[in-house]
Amino acid sequence: MLKNNDCIIVANPVSGPFKRELKKYLLAGPKEVLGCEAIGLDTKSEEEYRDCVIEAKKDYKMVICAGGDGTNRILINAGTNEHTILGYLKLGNGGALGSACNYEDSMLRHIASIIGYRGYIYQDLIDQAIQIHNGTVRNIDAILCETSAGSQKALMAGMGLDAEIIRRSGKRRINGESGLWSYVMASLEAGFHWSKKYTPDPEIKIEIDGETKTFNKLKSVIFLKHPFMGYSIRANPLASLDSGYVHGLAIDMGIPRILKALYQGYFKEQGNTQGTHLEGETINMYTTTPQPIHIEGDYWTTDTELRTIIIKNEFRMKF
């Protein structure tokens, strides 16, 4: 068991469908396994939570965030990662990083999360904590994402239709819908309105390590450092956390093939085979029509340009 001053859990109070008091209950198991305390649930804004993470990185050898992919975005962007080992407990919506960490997952777990079944989730978090405790420290790359709105480090980003789905899904969650249901409904809604709201560019340019490719009627590009999107969808099986490259997936296909990609990504062991795989140390996307952009499953901004640059061995994570 780790000593108390070696490790801390920093829990995001607003991630996922769970209230603060329920999160305190759910984190009791991981606290016991890891021999540490949990902080962060009393923060009242993203800025306060970020400051909490920064201070934790100064005081502890290992900082474990408890939340969703957006929480991990805050974790890797808050202060320096040079002297701290990071960890992740899946306590939010989507949880793509949990799949990348090889945490056990299934449709039953997603249903348990949606309906808030405490017993299943409680044991799930204990299992994740045990995996962290017994795990291996690994060097992980990050993607530096740049737009006119600024820059952020991430393991997952996207521009186009998938970001519009995330934007609409976020609005639905604010109105009380569950994560998975809001994503399904937002997908249908965005697919119907996409061509009306964002006239497809006849040509979209993607620059990979200085070489430009042109795509016709491209719907979306997903940038990944691991194979997964939310809900265990293996979107790009070729992506790897420590490959030294940005991995992209260009979605230049119609609705039937997109549905096939989602089916393959969730139900087939080899994952999705649809779309065009991209790989490089830098991948930049240029459009004439402003497109929505997301970072780690959170809507970020709308722009005509997204630049991505690999940062090799940006942080260490134990799982």
The residues near 127 (Cβ < 8 Å, ≥ 6 apart) are 103, 104
Query: Is residue 200 in a domain?
Result: yes
Q: What domain range includes position 194?
A: 141-314
| Sign, CA torsion 295/166/272/217 | negative
Q: Is 162 in the same domain as 95?
A: no
How many structural domains does the chain have?
A: 2
Q: Is 171 in the same domain as 308?
A: yes
Among 135, 166, 191, where does a domain finish?
Answer: 135
pLDDT class of 258 with cuts at 50, 70, 90:
confident
DSSP string, the chain: ---GGGEEEEE-TTSTT--HHHHHHHTHHHHHHHT--EE-TT--SHHHHHHHHHHHHHH-SEEEEEE-HHHHHHHHHSS--TT-EEEEEE-SSS-HHHHHTT----HHHHHHHHHT-HHHHHHHHHHHHHHHHT--EEEEEEEEEEETTEEEEESEEEEEHHHHHHHHHHHHHHTT--HHHHHHHHHHHHHHHHHHHSPPPS-EEEEETTEEEEESS--EEEEESSSB-GGG-B--TT--TTSSSEEEEEE-S-HHHHHHHHHHHHH-TT----SEEEEESEEEEEEEEEEEEEETTEEEEEEEEEEEEEEEEEEEEE-
Query: What are the pLDDT digits (tens) for 144-196?
Result: 999 999 999 999 999 998 899 889 988 887 777 766 677 788 888 887 777 66
Q: Is 117 in the same domain as 238?
A: no
pLDDT class of 216 with cuts at 50, 70, 90:
confident
Q: Is 76 in the same domain as 121?
A: yes
> How many other C-beta atoms lie within 10 A of the C-beta of residue 29?
19
Q: Is 122 in the same domain as 177?
A: no
Query: Is residue 319 in a domain?
Result: no
Q: Is 9 in the same domain as 125?
A: yes
Mean local confidence (pLDDT), 278-300: 95
Q: Is 207 in the same domain as 147?
A: yes
Q: Is 73 in the same domain as 198?
A: no
Model pLDDT, residue 3: 46
Among 71, 104, 135, where does a domain finish?
Answer: 135
Q: CATH number of the domain that 128 lies in?
A: 3.40.50.10330
Model pLDDT, residue 234: 94
Model pLDDT, residue 193: 74
Model pLDDT, residue 190: 82
Query: What are the pLDDT digits (tens) for 226-251?
Result: 999 887 899 999 999 999 999 999 98
Query: Is residue 249 in a domain?
Result: yes
Query: Is residue 112 in a domain?
Result: yes
Query: Is residue 234 in a domain?
Result: yes
Q: Is 79 in the same domain as 104?
A: yes
pLDDT class of 125 with cuts at 50, 70, 90:
very high
Among 135, 170, 185, where does a domain finish?
Answer: 135
Give the pair of three-digit tokens for residue 235.
């979107």
Q: CATH number of the domain that 222 lies in?
A: 2.60.200.40
Q: Within the chain, what is the greatest distance between any pair of CA atoms?
A: 58
Query: Is residue 196 in a domain?
Result: yes
Q: Is 126 in the same domain as 145?
A: no
Query: Is residue 238 in a domain?
Result: yes
